[in-house]
């Protein structure tokens, strides 16, 4: 069943934003990673098993956190982000293969992956339900999805401020700060297994399955 129509022009606009941001991405995000993201990435990746799809791999910030024994296929729709990720493959303890691909139209067969990982990706996927439908399609029946995502707060004032600022963050960064990610996952037919709040009700570690 289709819940969203994939608009390739909108997708292209977001991709271009990431292609432009790529060269300064680590300079801006690096300090934040060292402050708090590092321990969250460790929590995110530690349960990975078997064949792993990291969707929206960006510049490869999760690579050092993958446990021995897994094999990772990392995809991103931004060639410029992937080029930086390529230079960090040596930081990983596990084999990593990178591929240019859109989460909304994945070039993989149904039921391929044991684990799917995303980190701060579903704020920018232009059509998130479509993206989750694709992740649902390619994960194995007994596979798991682990997501580290920032979402819209359900607290009235904070949520309203996020709604008001969202048009600006989308316009300048291609990032939505008011995504209702759990609702989008359910709409795509995924089942949510566990949700851990890491920073208020805004940054979450979400475990899901088909
Ligand atoms: C905020 S960055 C996060 C990167 C990385 N996951 C991390 O934790 O540092 C979001 C990434 O998702 C990618 N992305 C967004 N929408 C995508 C899509 N539809 N298909 C593939 N990659 C996408 C962007 O190109 C970007 O690299």
CATH number at residue 46: 3.40.50.150
Q: Is the pTM of this model over 0.75?
A: yes
Complete DSSP assignment for 126-187: SSHHHHHHHHHHHEEEEEEEEEEEE----SHHHHHHHHHHHHHHHHHHS--S---HHHHHHH
Domain holding 131, by residue range, is 8-209
User: Which pLDDT score, from 0 to 100, does residue 1 have?
Assistant: 46
Instruction: Say if 2 falls within a structural domain.
Output: no
User: For ligand 1, what atom is nearest to the CA of residue 11?
Assistant: 19
Instruction: Say if 1 falls within a structural domain.
Output: no
Whether 2 has a pLDDT exceeding 70, the answer reads no
User: Which pLDDT score, from 0 to 100, does residue 4 have?
Assistant: 66
Ligand 1 atom 10: residue of nearest CA:
121
Number of domains in the chain: 1
Instruction: Say if 3 falls within a structural domain.
Output: no
Q: Using most ligand atoms within 8 A of CB, pick from 121, 145, 150, 184 the residue to mutate for ligand 1.
A: 121
- Report CA(92)–ligand 1 centroid distance (Å): 19
Q: Using most ligand atoms within 8 A of CB, pick from 20, 76, 80, 123 the residue to mutate for ligand 1.
A: 76
């Amino acid at each position: 069943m289709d819940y969203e129509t994939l608009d390739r022009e909108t997708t292209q606009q977001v991709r271009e934003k990431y292609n432009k941001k790529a060269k300064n991405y680590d300079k801006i995000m690096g300090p934040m990673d060292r402050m708090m993201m590092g321990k969250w990435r460790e929590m995110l990746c530690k349960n990975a098993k078997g064949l792993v799809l990291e969707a929206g791999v960006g510049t490869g910030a999760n690579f050092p956190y993958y446990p021995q024994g897994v094999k990772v296929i990392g995809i991103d729709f931004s060639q410029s982000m992937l080029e930086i990720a390529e230079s960090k493959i040596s930081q990983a303890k596990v084999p990593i293969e990178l591929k240019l691909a859109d989460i909304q139209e994945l070039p993989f067969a149904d039921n391929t992956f044991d684990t799917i990982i995303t980190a701060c990706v579903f704020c920018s996927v232009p059509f998130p339900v479509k993206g989750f439908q694709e992740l649902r399609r390619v994960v194995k029946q007994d596979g798991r999805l682990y997501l580290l995502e920032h979402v819209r707060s359900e607290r009235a004032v904070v949520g309203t401020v996020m709604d008001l600022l969202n048009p600006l963050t989308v316009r300048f960064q291609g990032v939505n700060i008011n995504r209702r990610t759990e609702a989008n996952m359910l709409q795509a037919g995924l089942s949510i297994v566990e949700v851990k709040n890491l920073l208020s009700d805004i940054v979450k570690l979400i475990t899901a399955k088909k």
